């Protein structure tokens, strides 16, 4: 067998063929894992593409439905949705293939372990012949030297004693050399026999491996080919649909959807004019309690009488009057507000928006990370401020600020960690810790030195084995993710009462049996922030009972009649806007008085924290690609009356 002979030729003069074949077998397992990574990355790319196509299809569905071109967007939408389905089907097939490859990797590892045990005797034969070969070479050199020495003494006429003495040494060297020649012959025979068997075993393993890898690649190619065929069919269908969408059909559809009838119109209908309309002014925005009741306005529409009116015209006018009736215009917008609120406010409390990495990281692709690269990681500091204000008394304000530190690792870093037996230790310095009351690190992943003397910073370093295990587990649970977030530590910030709150509040209630006046004063506090920034998504929620029948507010608020709640949505508050502001409302009641309730407030900030805590990487091997900071209101940021 030529293939087998090529294996046997690897034995060479130093009998190193066994090592070559054994390591070649181990390289097969590496190739299997790398093929798994390749298919997984292809699956990730296909999934991202499918999601983008789905988003594009939704966009096509939201485009203008006016005009003759509108039906064409339905063709685009349907075709794009089918394309997204084709790619998602490929993702499903690739995920199934990954499972098959992983199963093969596990079986391959077991087979290699069994083979290692089976070829142990061959390894001993290799080591034996290598040892004997070295001894044989040395005895040969000694034999040649002793023989030459004896012959030299004889030619130079040395004494018989010296010649005999040299002869004894030469004879001994000859016997030793002969002994090693015989040992080498025996060892060589044993080696060649076992090596031939082992080479055949390695060849069988390698053939099976290559065949299995080809089967996997063929399955991969078939899945991609089937997807391409499906995409081609979808594209051909799209082309046919566009070709079948003629100008005449588009105009016909417009006529059918917008037409008012198929009958040819007769005489033109009579023209109408508005006979009398009273002016519609909405309620005043002042705080006066003497507001007039909203007025109803009567609009009466009468046709201009034609000079040659007929009985048919008079009948048409009568029908028009009966169908329209009296039109009443009212300034009340409670129904509209109620409908808006039902879609925008379906919660009893206002919660902070969860954080997600943007990863805009300038790091390399997760696939191309190598052990020699400075590995990119991202960090996020997310702080939550909870505060409880009582009336307008600043001394009664209760504040608690907590924070979380999260690191994000790209998917490719897992491969670097697992293939490197001793990856560089990831360590960092937590700065400005003097502003923290308590620090709770993730003890499963982090080490720290409790004896550090610097009160404004604290050093931490990772248990790299635990970190690698954590990331590998996260990858197994979600193999398609590009990044994996790890909660590193939690902390509590030292607070100074109301001075630590970004938005100071004071509430005032005035409740009578027929009306309720509510006012909330607020003040922007830039001193509470490490780097002052705008407060966004500012919302104020108040519950008002007593049977509210109408509401007047400044600025405009949304009233939810089902939940008896009033919601203000304010513009961003910052140093560039007015630092102080007020929301106020007057409620008309049918079953007063109201009971003063606690107001809930929500806001957030992107770009800074309240504590000023920061992170600095230590050592080499890693770089910080993104440092994101934010804070938001927690579960409770509220204000009540005294």
Q: Is residue 254, in this structure, part of any structural domain at all?
A: no
Write out the residue range of the structural domain in which residue 560 sits. 372-641
In this prediction, residues 330-335 reach a mean pLDDT of 30
Instruction: Report pLDDT for 263.
Output: 57
Instruction: Report pLDDT for 493.
Output: 96
Q: Distance between CA atoms of 421 and 111, rounded to whole angstroms?
A: 23
Q: In terms of pLDDT, which residue wins out, 495 or 329? A: 495
Q: Is residue 348, in this structure, part of any structural domain at all?
A: no
Q: Is residue 339, in this structure, part of any structural domain at all?
A: no
Q: How much of the chain, in percent, has pLDDT values that exceed 70?
A: 76
Least confident of 17-31, 300-314, 500-514, 554-568: 300-314
Q: How much of the chain, in percent, has pLDDT values that exceed 90?
A: 33
Residues in the chain: 642
In this prediction, residues 37-62 reach a mean pLDDT of 88
Q: Is residue 22, in this structure, part of any structural domain at all?
A: yes
In this prediction, residues 316-320 reach a mean pLDDT of 37
3-state secondary structure 555-585: CCCEEECCCCEEEEEECCECCCCCCEEEEEE
- Phi and psi torsions of 213, nearest 5°: -65, -40
Q: Is residue 537, in this structure, part of any structural domain at all?
A: yes
In this prediction, residues 539-544 reach a mean pLDDT of 95
- Phi and psi torsions of 394, nearest 5°: -65, -25
Least confident of 64-73, 230-239, 542-551: 64-73
pLDDT band at 257 (very low <50, low <70, confident <90, very high): low
Over 50: is that where the pLDDT of 306 sits? Answer: no
Q: Is residue 321, in this structure, part of any structural domain at all?
A: no
> Which domain-ending residue is among 244, 271, 301?
244
Least confident of 300-304, 450-454, 455-459, 593-597: 300-304
Q: What's the whole-number average pLDDT of the chain? A: 77
> Which domain-ending residue is among 223, 244, 265?
244
pLDDT in tens, 105-162: 888 788 777 777 777 777 777 777 778 788 888 888 888 888 888 888 888 888 888 8
| Torsion over CA: 168, 173, 179, 182 (sign) | negative
Over 90: is that where the pLDDT of 295 sits? Answer: no
Instruction: Report pLDDT for 438.
Output: 92
Q: In terms of pLDDT, which residue wins out, 275 or 98? A: 98
Residue whose structure tokens are 């203000």: 568
Instruction: Report pLDDT for 403.
Output: 96
* Alpha helix ranges (H) inside 345-443: 412-419
Any idea what the CATH number is for the domain that residue 468 is in?
2.60.40.1170
pLDDT band at 299 (very low <50, low <70, confident <90, very high): very low
Any idea what the CATH number is for the domain that residue 49 is in?
1.20.1270.60
Instruction: Report pLDDT for 510.
Output: 94
Q: Is residue 474, in this structure, part of any structural domain at all?
A: yes
In this prediction, residues 551-564 reach a mean pLDDT of 95
Q: Is residue 310, in this structure, part of any structural domain at all?
A: no
Q: How many domains does the chain have?
A: 2
> Which domain-ending residue is among 244, 273, 298?
244
| Torsion over CA: 74, 78, 83, 88 (sign) | positive
Q: In terms of pLDDT, which residue wins out, 94 or 186? A: 94
């Amino acid at each position: 067998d030529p293939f087998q002979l090529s294996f046997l030729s690897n034995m060479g003069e130093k009998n190193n063929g066994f090592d070559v074949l054994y390591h070649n077998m181990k390289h097969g397992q590496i190739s299997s894992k790398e093929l798994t990574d390749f298919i997984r990355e292809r699956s990730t790319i296909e999934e991202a593409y499918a999601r983008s196509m789905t988003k594009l299809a939704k966009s096509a569905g939201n485009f203008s439905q006016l005009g003759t071109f509108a039906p064409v967007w339905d063709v685009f939408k349907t075709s794009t949705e089918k394309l997204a389905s084709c790619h998602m089907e490929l993702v499903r097939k690739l995920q199934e293939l990954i499972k098959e490859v992983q199963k093969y990797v596990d079986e391959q590892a077991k087979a290699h372990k069994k083979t290692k045990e089976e070829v142990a005797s061959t390894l001993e034969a290799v080591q034996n012949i290598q040892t004997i070969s070295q001894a044989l070479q040395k005895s040969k050199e000694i034999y040649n030297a002793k023989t030459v020495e004896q012959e030299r003494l004889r030619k130079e006429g040395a004494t018989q004693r010296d010649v005999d003495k040299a002869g004894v040494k030469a004879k001994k060297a000859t016997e030793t050399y002969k002994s090693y020649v015989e040992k080498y012959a025996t060892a060589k025979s044993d080696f060649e026999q076992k090596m031939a068997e082992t080479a055949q075993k390695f060849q069988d393993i390698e053939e099976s491996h290559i065949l299995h890898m080809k089967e996997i690649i063929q399955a991969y190619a078939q899945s991609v080919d089937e997807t391409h065929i499906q995409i081609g069919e979808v594209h051909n269908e799209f082309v046919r649909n566009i070709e079948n969408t003629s100008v005449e059909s588009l105009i016909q559809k417009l006529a059918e959807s917008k037409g008012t009838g198929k009958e040819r119109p007769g005489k033109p209908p009579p023209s109408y004019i508005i006979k009398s309309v009273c002016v519609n002014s909405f309620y005043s925005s002042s705080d006066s309690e003497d507001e007039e009741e909203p007025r109803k306005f009567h609009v009466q529409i009468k046709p201009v009488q034609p000079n040659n009116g007929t009985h048919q015209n008079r009948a048409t006018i009568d029908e028009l009057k009966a169908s329209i009736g009296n039109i009443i215009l009212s300034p009340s917008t409670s129904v509209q507000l109620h409908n808006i609120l039902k879609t925008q406010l379906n919660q009893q409390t206002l919660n902070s928006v969860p954080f997600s990495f943007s990863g805009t990281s300038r790091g390399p692709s997760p696939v191309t990370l190598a052990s020699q690269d400075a590995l990119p990681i991202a960090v996020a500091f997310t702080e939550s401020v909870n505060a409880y204000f009582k009336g307008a008394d600043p001394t009664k304000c209760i504040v608690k600020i907590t924070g979380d530190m999260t690191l994000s690792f790209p998917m490719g870093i897992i491969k670097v960690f697992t293939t490197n037996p001793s990856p560089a230790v990831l360590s960092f310095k937590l700065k400005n810790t003097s502003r923290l009351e308590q620090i709770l690190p993730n003890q499963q992943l982090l080490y720290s030195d409790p004896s550090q003397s610097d009160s404004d910073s604290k050093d931490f370093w990772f248990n790299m084995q635990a970190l690698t295990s954590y990331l590998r587990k996260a990858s197994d649970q979600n193999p398609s993710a590009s990044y994996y977030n790890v909660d590193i530590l939690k902390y509590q910030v030292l607070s100074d009462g109301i001075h630590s709150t970004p938005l100071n509040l004071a509430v005032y209630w005035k409740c009578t049996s027929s009306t309720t006046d509510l006012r909330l004063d607020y003040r922007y506090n830039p001193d509470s922030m490490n780097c002052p920034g705008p407060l966004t998504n500012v919302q104020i929620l108040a519950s008002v009972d007593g049977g509210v029948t109408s509401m007047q507010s400044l600025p405009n608020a949304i009233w939810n009649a089902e939940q008896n709640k009033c919601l203000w949505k304010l513009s961003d508050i910052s140093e560039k806007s007015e630092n102080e502001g007020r929301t106020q409302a007057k409620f008309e009641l049918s079953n007063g008085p109201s009971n003063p309730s606690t107001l809930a407030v929500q806001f957030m900030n992107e770009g800074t924290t309240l504590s000023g805590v920061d992170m600095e990487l230590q050592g080499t091997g890693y770089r910080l690609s993104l440092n994101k900071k934010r804070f938001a209101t927690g579960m409770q940021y509220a204000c009540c009356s005294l």
